[in-house]
Amino acid sequence: MNKIYVYDSTLRDGAQGKSVSFTVKDKIKIVKKLDDAGIDYIEAGNPGSNPKDAEFFNSIKDIKLNHSKIVAFGSTRRPGIKASEDTNLMHIVASGVKTAAVFGKSWDFHVTEILKTTLEENLEMISDSISFLVEKGFDVIFDAEHFFDGYKANPDYAMKTLEAAVESGAFSLCLCDTRGGTFPTETYEMSKTVIEKFNVQIGIHCHNDNGMAVASTIAAVEAGAIQVQGTMNGLGERCGNANLTTIVPNLQLLRNYDCIPENQMPFWSETAVFISEVANLSLHDESPFVGSAAFSHKGGMHTDALTKNTKSYELFDPSEVGNSRHILMSEVAGGSSVMKLLGKIDPKITKKDPKTREIMNKLKEMEFLGYQYEAAEASFELIIRRILGLYKHSFELVEFKVMVNEPSYNNVNSTAMIKIKVGDEFEVTAAEGDGPVDALDGALRKALTKFYPNLQQIKLTDYKVRVLDSEMATAAKVRVLIETTDGKNEWTTIGVSTDIIEASWLALVDSIEYCMCQEG
């Protein structure tokens, strides 16, 4: 297996993405997670750019890492001064790390029009900056900014910037597609030209403005690049950076490169989710390899083939990246997908059993009404159990009433009153909440815990509403999804109605019924 050095810039490039902001504690958490994952280089920011990055580099000195090298990022010196006089470079020297990434201009347009200096001075800036850091004991990676645009415009000059970096002691050249517009075929050809000329480590750094950052990164590797730069989950400014969560499994599992330790690959999905949570962002369900839908199957022929041989529709077993297979409950899923869930509930039931057909018909009927069980399997399991006669309601609703009060006081603006029946006993109670659903949830559980004390341990973790037929305006049907946890397990239930309170009630009841079902 050929070694590929993985270089993560989530904490610098990724932090430039829309709605992304890391605290120092966030950055340290991410460093530890990336170190556990076996990432080779972690570009942690520019120690001279802001107080937060300065504080981070001061804090990270006391943390022992097992695998990763922390990289300080910065630019070449300013025009017209010595490298030793450049504040940015002096901050890198004082950062406490021993690996630096220095970016310099490789596009003549940027040199003359943006830096407003001469082409020769830019070469001197590259040479001086790298020589200065090498003399201070740094391993230096030269990020050739705008290399591909520069090569297209003036290939001789673009190559001269690389020569200046190598002759000054850079151990690695990273070719940057900074505008993110280079096609994979172009990336391959230009990368190959560089690799054939220079006997140093060649890296690739792509932005995703044309949607080809991952493809271009892999093209550069196929040309011979051995360092890949990117961010976890593709975070970054504009359209983001090359997505390492996609690149690493592609190279390691589908192309037999050695990117991260083999025993860490089963934790790859967990790492991707962790980064999203720290960034306070949702990981896209459709993210290749690590998303919740990456190994989800719904179509009837697909799921039928999958039950015969998983290779029919999967590149590899989802456990290899720490993900899991989901057979989605749907009217188009066919009997095979339902049978998997049926087998968990009643191993003796067969595909030809009349109850199986009844369950399938019920599924189609409910989806016609607006229900979708892909993300609410708990509600569908309750349907199955009711049809099979394996479960009965743990309580009956007699009536409920919800009142919304404005203005709110101490985050309480709703009151719910409820009357339920359990066996031959009635219970009437009320609760306040931050919104009608919160109040209704509080009142229901307050009433039920008299009979079922174990319900005290469950809580709602998410609540989503979607309008199904918006042309009906305020009379539109809505779909409510409620996520619930007991501290160990999580489940999602669904309710549909033209009344948002009723839809919420249906999902809420299913969430409690499902909990009762699991605990017998």
The mean of the pLDDT values for the chain is 89
Contact between residue 105 and residue 151 where contact means Cβ atoms under 8 Å apart: no
Q: Could you tell me which residues are beta bridge partners of residue 70? A: 42
pLDDT for 313 equals 67
Contact between residue 261 and residue 228 where contact means Cβ atoms under 8 Å apart: no
What pLDDT band is residue 466 in, cutting at 50, 70 and 90? confident
53 backbone φψ class: left, alpha, beta (φ>0; ψ -120 to 50): alpha
What pLDDT band is residue 253 in, cutting at 50, 70 and 90? very high
Q: What is the DSSP secondary-structure string of 143-180?
A: EEETHHHHHHH-HHHHHHHHHHHHHTT-SEEEEEETTS
**What class does CATH assign to 5-278?**
alpha beta
What are the C-alpha distances in Å from 484 to residues 48, 312, 457, 460? 45, 34, 11, 4
Longest dimension (CA), the chain: 92
Is the confidence at residue 329, as pLDDT, over 60? Answer: no
Rg, Å, the chain Cα set: 29
Q: Which of 71-85, 94-108, 449-463 has the lowest mean pLDDT?
A: 449-463
3-state class (DSSP) for residue 253: helix
Q: How far apart are CA 158 and CA 153, in angstroms?
A: 9
Q: How far apart are CA 135 and CA 84, in angstroms?
A: 11
Mean of pLDDT values over 267-295:
86
Pairing of strands 69-75, 41-45: parallel
Half-sphere exposure of 353 (CA within 13 A, CB side): 15
Q: How far apart are CA 377 and CA 457, in angstroms?
A: 21
Q: How far apart are CA 221 and CA 209, in angstroms?
A: 20
Q: How far apart are CA 63 and CA 68, in angstroms?
A: 12
Q: Which of 343, 379, 346 is nearest to 362 (CA)?
A: 379
What stretch(es) of the chain map to CATH 3.30.160.270?
396-518
pTM equals 0.69
Q: Which of 62-71, 150-159, 411-420 has the lowest mean pLDDT?
A: 411-420
> Could you say which DSSP state residue 390 is in?
-
Q: Which of 65, 82, 79 is nearest to 135 (CA)?
A: 82
Q: What is the DSSP secondary-structure string of 443-507?
A: HHHHHHTTT-GGGGG-EEEEEEEEES-GGGGGG--EEEEEEEE-SS-EEEEEEEESSHHHHHHHH
pLDDT for 483 equals 87
Mean of pLDDT values over 316-339:
68
Is the confidence at residue 8, as pLDDT, over 70? Answer: yes
pLDDT for 96 equals 93
What pLDDT band is residue 200 in, cutting at 50, 70 and 90? very high
Q: What percent of the chain has pLDDT over 90?
A: 58
Is the confidence at residue 513, as pLDDT, over 70? Answer: yes
Convert 130-149 to b/e letters by CB count within 10 Å (16 or more is b): bbbbbebebbbbbbbbbbbb
Mean of pLDDT values over 20-41:
94
Mean of pLDDT values over 332-352:
71
Q: Which of 284, 296, 191 is nearest to 245 (CA)?
A: 284
Q: What is the DSSP secondary-structure string of 191-225?
A: HHHHHHH--SEEEEEEB-TTS-HHHHHHHHHHHT-
Q: How far apart are CA 402 and CA 388, in angstroms?
A: 34
What stretch(es) of the chain map to CATH 3.20.20.70?
5-278
Is the confidence at residue 345, as pLDDT, over 50? Answer: yes
Stretch (H or E) spanning 140: strand 139-145
pLDDT for 299 equals 60
What pLDDT band is residue 139 in, cutting at 50, 70 and 90? very high
**248 or 20: whose pLDDT is higher?**
248
Most confident of 246-255, 374-383, 493-502: 246-255
What pLDDT band is residue 334 in, cutting at 50, 70 and 90? very low
pLDDT tens, residue by residue, 257-267: 999 999 999 99
Angle at which helices 24-37 and 268-278 pack, to 10 degrees?
A: 170
Tell me which CATH code domain 396-518 carries. 3.30.160.270
3-state class (DSSP) for residue 105: strand
Alpha helix (H) residue ranges in 351-435: 354-368, 377-388
pLDDT for 277 equals 78
Stretch (H or E) spanning 272: helix 268-278
Q: How far apart are CA 374 and CA 382, in angstroms?
A: 14
Contact between residue 192 and residue 224 where contact means Cβ atoms under 8 Å apart: yes
Mean of pLDDT values over 360-379:
81
